[in-house]
Amino acid sequence: MLLFTMCAGMFLVQLDVTVVNVALPTIGTDLHAGLAAQQWVVDGYSVVLAALLLTGGALGDVFGHRRVVLAGFALFGAASAACGLAGTAAWLVAARAGQGVGAALLLPGTLAVITNAYPGHAERARALGIWAGVSALALSAGPVLGGAVVSAAGWRPVFWLNVPVVLAAAFATRRLVPRGERGPGRRVDVAGVATAVPALAAGVYAVIAGSVVAGVAAVVALTAFVAVERRSADPMLPLDVARRTLSANFVAAAMNFAGIGSILVLTLYLQGVRHASPLAAGLEVLPLFAPLSLLAPVAGRLTGRFGPRPLMVAGLALGALGMLNLVLLTENSGYAALLPTLLGLGTGMGLLTTAVVTAAVSGIPPARAGVASGVNNTARQAGGALGVAVLGAVVGAPGDRFVAGLHVAGLIAGTLWLAAIGVTLAGVRAPRDNRVARAG
């Protein structure tokens, strides 16, 4: 029940990534929002989430993850209600940013609770497989649920649906998750927070908006963050933790760059080029999400037995082939021509998700579980935000040049995943108890 309850937090966070994509054309029409504003409805959530995840994980390590998760549920529910009441695109983007704050408290806390509840590598991998399966269920439910709700009642109920789920999950958290005590001798690394947040936010914004000023600000803030963490007696992100998880977190960012970015691109293709309805588009992307739900628990068991690296390599290879298939599409291509992309990407992410999270949190002390979770989720969410921005800019609005942009997007994502295979082979190793078990 504790595992199920923590999965509810991830379900909400992931659901609000995909459910909005299907509603974007309707939101754009109702609120008179162009493509740039529609991208910010997605990225206003993702950028804030990416900027604050590290802080959310660190707060959980200091104050206890139960308290921080409950605060996250409260903020997420209130912001969801504000989204449902939005009267302008700017209002909606601001409310989505509020959802991002709540999600940044929720996501690392739920993963840290699971990590600490299952200390062995094999059992943790199996638990994370279930966690990833629920995450994938949210991703797959998002387009279908969003399409059905938008077709039947408009886009506002898409956000109102979060409110009862938040209430139920918060009640279950209070009943089931042990009350954590404040970490002995731990304190909030204020200087680390003050430099990490602008570094992450400015970095993501620089790519989305093409702002040189934001890019310079990100570099300055990142430099200050590293300097602060080197000198801190109790750093928010110990540099040894960052080094040990660098390869896994690069792969996590690459995974979401292609995965989340492709959801936007494929939704625009299905509705703007193939003229599918929101519900039809949601159903047509199910071959991407179904393998995620089905394979994640299986991948958890395989990761527990063989370690994360074989699953990561296999998933990246399949996903890369799927993305490269976009080069073959034309304006007149049938749905069957898109299936290799949907199935390749979905199967690849189904094998990859559990393995990459396991690689990122294995061997990290329990007292740093929150910040390790925060780093991994920061990489994933930042990668997703950048994928939406970069791939969305490459394809542009549906029109004469859209399919040509789709070809370029496929090449970018496929090449990135092929490069991630090299990073995996060079930097990801099996956890110690996996090696011992296999040797025995």
Q: What would the pLDDT profile of 157-174 be if each residue is shown by its tens digit?
A: 888 888 888 888 888 888
Q: What is the value of pTM for the model shown?
A: 0.74
- Which amino acid type is present at position 18? T
If DSSP codes are grouped into helix, strand and coil, which group holds residue 232?
coil
In the chain, the largest separation of any two C-alpha atoms, in whole Å, equals 64
- Rounded to 10 deg, the angle between the 2-31 and 246-268 helix axes is 40
Q: What angle do CA 159, 294, 321 make, to 5 degrees?
A: 95
The CA distance from 80 to 166, in Å, is 10
pLDDT of residue 316: 95
If DSSP codes are grouped into helix, strand and coil, which group holds residue 214?
helix
Structure tokens at 141: 């439910």
pLDDT of residue 431: 58
The CA distance from 308 to 87, in Å, is 46
pLDDT of residue 143: 67
Structure tokens at 189: 């690394």
At 118, give phi and psi (nearest 5°): -125, 85
The CA distance from 233 to 255, in Å, is 34
* Residue 91, number of CB atoms within 10 A of its CB: 14
Residues lower than pLDDT 50 in the chain: 433-440
pLDDT of residue 439: 40
The CA distance from 115 to 246, in Å, is 19
